[in-house]
Amino acid sequence: MSPLNKLILTWTVNALSLVCVQGQVQMWVDMFPMDLPHPGPSVDISPRKPKGYELRIIIWNTEDVILEDSNFLTGQQSSDIYIKGWLKGLEDDRQETDVHYNSLTGEGNFNWRFVPFLLHVVVVRKREHIFSLDKTEEKLPAILNLQVWDFETLSSDDFLGVTLFFTALHTICKYLFSTDF
């Protein structure tokens, strides 16, 4: 019996965070009578290993950053700006720029290069709770988290702002626009 004569089942594949359809899965089920000989070896259809990508980040400048500190003698506003960056799920591997001290206009100049992140899907292996015997594996989308902070010498640093970059953007654009960055 050829595949054309079989009942073909079709499911649509949707992204978790998107409304658009990303493809379809089509399949059929073969059932063979036990009194006939074995039809032959099965075909390996396991998914391909994902390719890893390297994400290089260069922080050059910041502008319009909130001025959090105030000079007690002159009353002039300023901030000591630095950037923290990490991939969601890998908070222990976060990286920080140097500090741009005494920014009076909210502008900071860095030319800082973060050590490359390797990404496709971030795999986090951890115990769900204290009494778990085995570690569970969770696959997270590669989301880059960049935060702006005000450095403080004597007290804890002040949080100034955040932005998230969804690093699977190249996949979405390739699907939607049939182009690649």
Integer CA distances (angstroms), 116 to 13, 61, 120, 121, 132, in order: 31, 19, 13, 15, 33
pLDDT digits (tens, 9 = 90+) for 18-59: 666 777 888 877 777 888 888 788 777 776 766 666 778 889
With CA atoms as reference, report the closest residue to 105 among 157, 74, 65.
65
d(CA 114, CA 38): 57
Per-residue pLDDT band for 10 (boundaries 50, 70, 90) equals confident
pLDDT the model gives residue 176? 53
Q: Are 80 and 142 in contact (CB under 8 A)?
A: no
Give me the pLDDT at residue 147, please.
93
Residue range 96-130, pLDDT digits in tens: 999 999 999 989 998 888 887 766 566 677 777 77
Q: Which of 72-76, 112-116, 160-164, 174-178 has the lowest mean pLDDT?
A: 174-178
Strand 108-119 versus strand 158-166 pairing type: unpaired
Look at residue 1 in the predicted model and tell me its pLDDT. Answer: 47
**CA separation (Å) from 125 to 89, 136, 139, 150?**
10, 6, 9, 32
180 pLDDT tier (thresholds 50, 70, 90) = very low
% of the chain with per-residue pLDDT over 90: 21
- Give the pLDDT score at 181: 40
Q: What is the pLDDT of residues 59-94, one digit of tens each?
A: 999 999 989 888 888 889 999 999 999 888 788 889
Task: Please check whether residue 60 is in contact with residue 118, taking contact to mean a CB–CB distance below 8 angstroms.
Answer: no
Instruction: Give the pLDDT of residue 43.
Output: 74
Spatial distance between the Cα atoms of 176 and 169, rounded to a whole number of angstroms:
10
Alpha carbons 180 and 117: distance in angstroms, whole number: 20
The domain segmentation of the chain, as residue ranges, is 53-177
CATH number of 53-177: 2.60.40.150
Has this prediction a pTM greater than 0.85?
A: no
Query: Residue 2 above 80 pLDDT?
Result: no
DSSP string, 79-103: EEEEEEEEETT-GGG-EE---EEEE
Q: What distance in Å separates the CA atoms of residue 143 and residue 136, rounded to the nearest whole number?
A: 20
